[in-house]
Amino acid sequence: MDNLLAANGVTLENEYNNDDNIQVLESMTFHSLDSSNAKKYKRKKKRKLEDDNEAVNSMLITSIDNVANAIVTDMYESIQRYDGFKYLSKFKRGGKTSLLFQLALNSVVDNTDKSVVFICNRRKLDNKPPFLSKGIDPSSSVLDRIQMKYVDDEDGINKFFAAFHMHDVFPVLVIIDDLGEFFDEK
């Protein structure tokens, strides 16, 4: 994770205060507690552990979402800095499709007249669909501005770009997921 963050110029900052309020207590005897008090004490401890678990899970999900958004933002900014085509090869597996799909969403979310073309292999996408970030409604109209183009090989990509000039409105971004896998070893 550190290499990934360093390679993308992303910094991960802890936004939570992790000061532990742990107190070391001398050994206590609970023989003076009656049965009902012991049960109440156990229920209270169990609720506290469940609440702590939920808080940790929430912090973990938020942190992962923040890292993903930071990486997508870095990718988006690097694409904006350069003209022409970019080939993203840093990520071999482990969320690249989700990050690229998030990039597509970020590219159209604030502007209703922009669209993105997302080129991919349908079988692979059906087997591992992209993860939608927290807060994205799967029925959102933003997703309508991402045109999915399914291709199986190099010929499919060539045909798409051969007819690219026929678009009425050009997309702001064309993303090809796993570009190298569409080509033979020639």
Phi and psi angles of residue 171, each rounded to the nearest 5 degrees, phi first: -70, 150
- Rounded CA-CA distance 48/54 in Å is 10
Q: Going residue by residue through the chain (186 aa), what tens digit of pLDDT does each one get?
A: 555 555 555 554 554 445 544 444 444 444 445 567 777 777 777 777 777 777 777 777 777 777 777 776 666 665 555 445 555 554 556 678 888 888 888 888 877 888 999 999 999 889 888 887 777 777 778 888 999 999 999 899 999 999 988 888 889 889 988 877 877 665
- Rounded CA-CA distance 27/21 in Å is 18
Phi and psi angles of residue 87, each rounded to the nearest 5 degrees, phi first: -120, 115
